[in-house]
Amino acid sequence: MLVILITPLGVNGQRRGQEEATSQRWSPVSIGLYVGYDNQPSGEVAGAQMRIPVLPSGTVELLSGGNITFLNQLKEYQFNLEAVYNTGTTAGGLYLGGGLAWRNTMFGSELTAGRRTVRGYSIVSGIKAGGIAGTPFSPQLEIRWTFLEETALNPRVISLGVNVALW
């Protein structure tokens, strides 16, 4: 009887039960800027983008962005909405995807011709690195092919950019 009274009732401290599962944090939304060159109309490009993770791990992201192609006496505007698959982690890796594209430009050789917006699709591929020396800044190198309807213009942009995680 004395043994029962002095024996501790709870032995949870010594028992190895099921451990609580750690909750997986979502990869952060990131925004970025990039500069590059558009091969088809032969002009410099400047743009901005937002990367929104679809899965908590960040392996699938929505990539939305817009850019301006600077030509002689003309600026062309393009907007993209793409889904990309990342082979790496949030620390970096290759990515590949595609989506929708809209381009606003003047079609024809006359500078007085009206502007039009045409739609099409895009294919994007690139490589991104993790944060530089412990900072939230993440560089990327990207190639985007755009295939537009109703025109032979198919821009190909190669760009170098930097993204920053919002949290």
pLDDT digits (tens, 9 = 90+) for 113-137: 688 999 999 999 999 998 777 788 9
According to DSSP, the residues that pair with 156 across neighbouring strands are 145
Helix (H, G, I), strand (E, B) or coil at 99: strand
Helix (H, G, I), strand (E, B) or coil at 104: strand
Could you report the per-residue pLDDT of 39-68, keeping only the tens digit for each?
988 999 999 999 999 998 889 999 999 999
User: Is the distance from CB of 39 to CB of 52 less than 8 angstroms?
Assistant: no
What average pLDDT does this structure show over 24-28? 81
Domain 26-165 has CATH 3.40.50.620: no
- Rg (C-alpha) for the chain, rounded Å, is 25
How is the chain split into domains, by residue range? 26-165
Angle at 76 between CA 70 and CA 78, to 5 degrees: 120
> Considering the entire predicted model, what is its pTM?
0.80
